[in-house]
């Protein structure tokens, strides 16, 4: 396994990824409706679109999404192979979204502490999918 990435850089990558998507769409909707709002980010459709992005783009882009690319980190399988659609589905849909809803967010909080305190920096969704997040240079 390469050098695992801690919470700070993973959070920064996710934050950048969200901003890169949300702000341009909000600006577009402002010109379309005349109202500047982020309420649409709470919609079911937005959550589906973003989940599809988080699941498919790493498969096509060798473990990267835009925020992870900027932060020079990527998702890898434990055996160092590239992520595939099955494992990304397990990671994003089952391990992050479904588990978070079923546990009322407790799984997300536990995952944060796992990334902070575990030596291998793996969260619950990483264990479910057999993945980890590594620095690009260590791969």
H or E element that contains 129? helix 124-129
User: pLDDT digits over 58-96, tens only?
Assistant: 999 999 999 999 999 999 999 999 999 999 999 999 999
Residue 139: what pLDDT? Answer: 47
Token output for 29: 């909707």
Q: Is the pTM of this model over 0.75?
A: yes
User: pLDDT digits over 90-104, tens only?
Assistant: 999 999 999 999 999
Q: Specify whether the backbone of 66 is left (phi greater than 0), alpha (psi in -120 to 50) or beta.
A: alpha
Mean pLDDT, range 98-117, rounded to an integer:
96
- Under DSSP, the state recorded for 73 is E
110-128 exposure pattern, b = at least 16 Cβ within 10 A, e = fewer: ebeebbeeeeebbbbbbbb
Provide the residue ranges of all domains of the chain, joining segments of one domain with +.
Answer: 7-138
Token output for 74: 């990527």
Residue 39: what pLDDT? Answer: 85
């Amino acid at each position: 396994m390469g050098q695992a990435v801690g919470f700070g850089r993973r959070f920064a990558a996710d934050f950048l990824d969200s901003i890169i998507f949300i702000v341009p769409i909000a600006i577009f909707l402002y010109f379309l409706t005349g109202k500047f709002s982020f309420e649409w980010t709470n919609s079911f459709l937005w959550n589906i679109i973003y989940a599809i992005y988080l699941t498919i783009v790493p498969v096509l882009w060798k473990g990267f999404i835009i925020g992870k690319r900027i932060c020079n980190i990527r998702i890898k399988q434990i055996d160092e192979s590239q992520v595939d659609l099955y494992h990304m589905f397990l990671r994003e849909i089952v391990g992050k979204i479904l588990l978070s809803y079923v546990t009322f967010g407790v799984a997300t909080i536990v995952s944060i502490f796992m990334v902070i305190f575990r030596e291998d920096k793996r969260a619950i969704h990483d264990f479910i999918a057999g993945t980890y997040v590594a620095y690009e240079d260590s791969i």
